[in-house]
Amino acid sequence: MKIAPFNASEAFIQDFHDSRPGGTSSALGSLRFQYDDHEWSSTYQLLIRSVPEMPWGRVLDLACGDGHLLSMLRQHLPESWGLYGLDFSSGELRRALEVSDNSTHYVQGMAQGLPYADESFDTVLCHMAFMLMENQPEVLKEIARVLKPGGTFSAIVGGAPSATAIQQCFVNCIRELPRNPDYAEVRFSRSNHDPDRLQTLIKAEFNEVSATNLTIPLTLTPEEAWQWFSGMYDLSTRLVEDLNQVRAHFISQLEDKVHNHILTFHFFHAVKNGS
């Protein structure tokens, strides 16, 4: 089922994930990194560790995608916890249901109008999606509405692209391709990734807000770099007649060398007013 998105950018994201479910978990599900004197198996694990230690509760994964985080939560939390996932992509939800053990409740919907009663959840999690959502203040109001007093909201947000040689090479390749007229109005606001702006927005609805910057270095061969960048949104907004030709051009620009790249994420954790 198609849910009407807010604008052209959300329509593009919906189409992208309908046709390519599981892309986010495939790219980030095993991305190990060091933080706070600890090695983390992925940014998903950081969200799992943010869930309060309680014998029972209810958690909502907002923009749950293929259910990767919820599958990990089922292994981590007591069986008494209720797990819920919401996404606006029917393709992602189909993938999630294929691997679900039927103890997780999936719903298709929009973050700007959550189909849940007030004070329904003990915690809300969001992995690599909040920065893509339109009307972020309204999304935060909805998250606060469905959280119980004292409930927590945790999110992993993608940071601005790093100015590395690999990044610039990919940007140059993209610029040479004509824009797909179906996605002519697709624009992604850099301000949606700005950690200071996001922290200010979160503080309007929550207290005890913390924000942490995460930097993950990567070392990539040209082929590994292509596999990473070709799965991003940018390439899909362009008209590509011969993908192999684009790939060959990108790889040739990297001159068969190993290159360093840097990924930046922001981790937010907040508590709803009340006790």
Question: pLDDT confidence of 114, banded at 50, 70, 90?
Answer: very high
Instruction: Note whether residue 124 is domain-resident.
Output: yes
CA distances from 71 to 45, 68, 85 (A): 12, 5, 11
Instruction: Note whether residue 66 is domain-resident.
Output: yes
Q: Are 153 and 206 in contact (CB under 8 A)?
A: yes
Residue 101 has pLDDT above 90, yes or no: no
For residues 108 and 92, give the distance between their C-alpha atoms in angstroms, rounded to a whole number. 10
- How many domains is the chain partitioned into structurally? 1
Instruction: Note whether residue 257 is domain-resident.
Output: no
Q: Are 65 and 17 in contact (CB under 8 A)?
A: yes
Owning domain of residue 14: 8-161+184-216+263-271
For residues 82 and 104, give the distance between their C-alpha atoms in angstroms, rounded to a whole number. 7
Which pLDDT tens digit goes with each residue over 233-248? 999 999 999 999 999 9
Average pLDDT score over residue span 115-119: 98
Instruction: Note whether residue 211 is domain-resident.
Output: yes
Instruction: Note whether residue 105 is domain-resident.
Output: yes
**pTM passes above 0.85:** yes
For residues 207 and 270, give the distance between their C-alpha atoms in angstroms, rounded to a whole number. 6
pLDDT at 273: 85
Question: pLDDT confidence of 204, banded at 50, 70, 90?
Answer: very high
3-state secondary structure of 58: strand
Please report, for the domain that includes residue 109, its CATH number.
Answer: 3.40.50.150
pLDDT at 2: 65
Question: pLDDT confidence of 102, banded at 50, 70, 90?
Answer: confident
Give the N- to C-terminal CA distance of the chain in Å, as an integer. Answer: 39
Which pLDDT tens digit goes with each residue over 77-86? 999 999 999 9
